[in-house]
Amino acid sequence: MPSLVTFGETSAVFVARDLGRMRYCRDFTIRPGGAEATVAVGVHRLGFPTAWMSALGEDEMGHYLRGLVAAEGVDVSRVAMVAGRQTAVFLRERLPGGAARHFYYRRHSAFSEYAPAMLDEGFIAEARILHLTGITPALSASCDAAAWRAVEIARAHGVTVSFDPNVRLNLWGREEARARLARYLAAADIVLPGLEDMQMLYGPIDAEGALSILADLGCGRIVLKAGAGDVHVVEGDSRLTLPVTPVAHPVDLMGAGDAFAAGCLAGLLKGWDLEAAARLAITVAGLAIELPGNIEAMPTWAEVARRTAGTESWNR
């Protein structure tokens, strides 16, 4: 059985090959795009069995995504293929420094109609960690209900709940997002927000303000990513700040937060404390943004070990 189960939508992403305004781009490449599937792949590459629960359209994009994630060794047995519904798609405009803009076409997708009854309670109950993001409840009322039911199942069976707000204000308004995501933050055993997420929800606050809000919500284990600077780790009464050395030449920032989550969750699965897990997360995210793509860029444990040891890899 998987150590980690994730639940959420993955889309087919058409990425512009050229930098600059997408209106002038004529060539695109297709890649997978979904936080939860990316985390599942990332944790699997770091040595743990994982599963991804979702729904895809019974179409070419759906078969492409399911096959790709399965080929990475992730259990996709709880990914429904829905006839008559399309797989979500979005377009990615590439900007300098690895930045990007996204244009979503995911309304009425197969996953948008995912309902609580589609969840496999026994499957979730056997996991050690359930990981969710704030993207899922933003997609539809039924997705919100299913995500919350997954949390209830996990808590009833003693499964650790991990939550990354991953705020997408182009999917819903700030007020709605703040109200509905607050209950997930409060219910989770560990939260992995970015400072930008908290600012989108609560306005122009700094890291101290974000940590105060999370504490008021009852979050006991927090790993707050404060942009390109520091990572703040809170566990009960213990608190520390870990410095982050920016990557000199980032290639692609897509999936950096998911790589961070994968590293942190893999550390916890190894039995490490939250500080050690957060340090691993920083390393994994740094490696991931040195390569293009999200799933494609997730590092292996051997690559992490080489980076932390400061050794080189010779290819000839």
CA distance 247 to 287: 9
Q: What's the total number of domains in the chain? A: 1
User: Which pLDDT belongs to residue 294?
Assistant: 85
Q: pTM of this prediction?
A: 0.93
Which single residue is written with the structure tokens 């690559």?
A: 303
Contact 79, 55 (CB under 8 A): yes
User: Which pLDDT belongs to residue 313?
Assistant: 56
Catalytic residues: 258
Tens of pLDDT, residue by residue over 124-134, are 999 999 999 99
Cα 142 to the center of its chain, rounded Å:
20
Tell me whether residue 315 is in a domain: no
Range of the domain at 18: 4-309
Per the structure block, which two tokens stand in for 182? 């607050």
User: Which pLDDT belongs to residue 312?
Assistant: 56
Which residues, 6+ apart, have CB-to-CB distance to 311 below 8 Å? none
H or E, element range at 266:
helix 256-269
Tell me whether residue 179 is in a domain: yes
CA distance 285 to 299: 9
CA distance 247 to 118: 41
CA distance 263 to 188: 18
Query: Measured at the alpha carbon of residue 107, what is the angle toward residues 19 and 261, in degrees to the nearest 5?
Result: 60
CA distance 316 to 301: 21
Tell me whether residue 217 is in a domain: yes
How many C-beta neighbours within 10 Å does residue 236 have? Answer: 8
CA distance 53 to 75: 9
CATH number at residue 147: 3.40.1190.20
User: Which pLDDT belongs to residue 98?
Assistant: 75
Per the structure block, which two tokens stand in for 18? 């050229």
3-state secondary structure of 11: strand
Tell me whether residue 316 is in a domain: no
CA distance 252 to 119: 33
User: Which pLDDT belongs to residue 195?
Assistant: 96
User: Which pLDDT belongs to residue 63?
Assistant: 97
Cα 248 to the center of its chain, rounded Å:
23
CA distance 261 to 211: 18
- Beta bridge pairs of residue 11: 33
Per-residue pLDDT of the chain (316 residues; tens, 9 = 90+): 899 999 999 999 998 999 999 899 999 999 999 999 999 999 999 999 999 999 999 999 999 999 999 999 999 999 999 999 999 998 989 888 778 888 888 888 999 999 999 999 999 999 999 999 999 999 999 999 999 999 999 999 999 999 999 999 988 999 999 999 999 999 999 999 999 999 999 999 999 999 999 999 999 999 999 976 799 999 988 999 998 877 767 776 777 899 999 999 999 999 999 999 999 999 999 999 888 888 999 999 999 999 888 765 555 5
Q: Convert 77-96 to b/e letters by CB count within 10 Å (16 or more is b).
A: ebbbebeebbbbbebbbbee
